[in-house]
A = this chain, B = another copy of it.
Amino acid sequence: MNRFTEPEIAALYRAMRERRDMRHFLPDPVDPDMLTRLLEAAHLAPSVGLMQPWRFVRITAPALRREIHKLVQAEKTATAQALGERQEEFLRLKVEGILQCGELLVAVLMDRRERHVFGRRTLPEMDLASVACAIQNLWLAARAEGIGMGWVSLFDPVALAELLQIPAGAKPVAVLCLGHVEAFYPAPMLELEGWTRRCPLQDLVFHDQWGNTKAPA
């Protein structure tokens, strides 16, 4: 009786299967009540020691959005240079939809995290893991509601923190483009564009020790 009904289970797997990292958006606004539901979904995420380290900055000022776009453009150039021989190929990809999307959020790791020791003494980065779980909840909820989302991590976190007056100790980790879309990509865009391929799951699951892909008899 702990199990959901078959249609409920199917709906969940559908959201996971059809969720995409979107870069193409329609300009239509996102309904504010829906945005609240998406943020509530994020806030339902698990967190290490229940520290709830996620903060969201909603960008409403057009000038601020343009400044964020500039930061991402600068990092796109820097990344292209760092990529060496794949530079040209990378520059042809659409890596963000910041100026087109209906809503722009910045997800931030809260400040004063050092007070939280539970589950983080040897793995302090678990706070980021919690924020990522929150973002994944938001992403799946957006997909079900018919809203596309793209997680952009092409930016200098120090410059973005300064722009949003984020205090020392806190750190922006995601620029989230949200909005209506013409259609969701049928597969990950980086796969459609030939950037890379999905790995077979069986290559990623080991048994009792690293590299052992053979299940015990």
Contact = CB atoms under 8 A, between A and B. Distances in A.
B41 A204 contact: no
Contact of A166 (B133, B154, B184, B210): B210
Contacts of A121: 75, 78-79, 82, 154
A210 B57 contact: yes
A59 interface: yes
Interface of chain A: mostly helix, strand, loop or mixed: mixed
A15 interface: yes
Interface string A121-154: 1110110111111011101110111111001111
B129 A61 contact: no
A137 B211 CA distance: 23
A13 B122 CA distance: 33
Contacts of A79: 117-119, 121
A13 B141 CA distance: 7
A83 B118 contact: yes
A133 to B, nearest CB: 4
A40 interface: yes
Contact of A201 (B17, B40, B153, B206): B40
A55 B204 contact: yes
Contact of A209 (B15, B39, B165, B180): B165
Given A7-B11, A129-B174, A132-B133, 15 more contacts: A4-B146, A12-B140, A13-B41, A16-B45, A17-B44, A55-B210, A59-B208, A60-B216, A79-B117, A82-B121, A123-B155, A125-B173, A126-B173, A128-B129, A129-B131
In the A-B complex, list the 6 residue pairs whose CB atoms are closest, starting with the nearest.
A3-B146, A132-B132, A2-B146, A8-B11, A129-B132, A11-B11
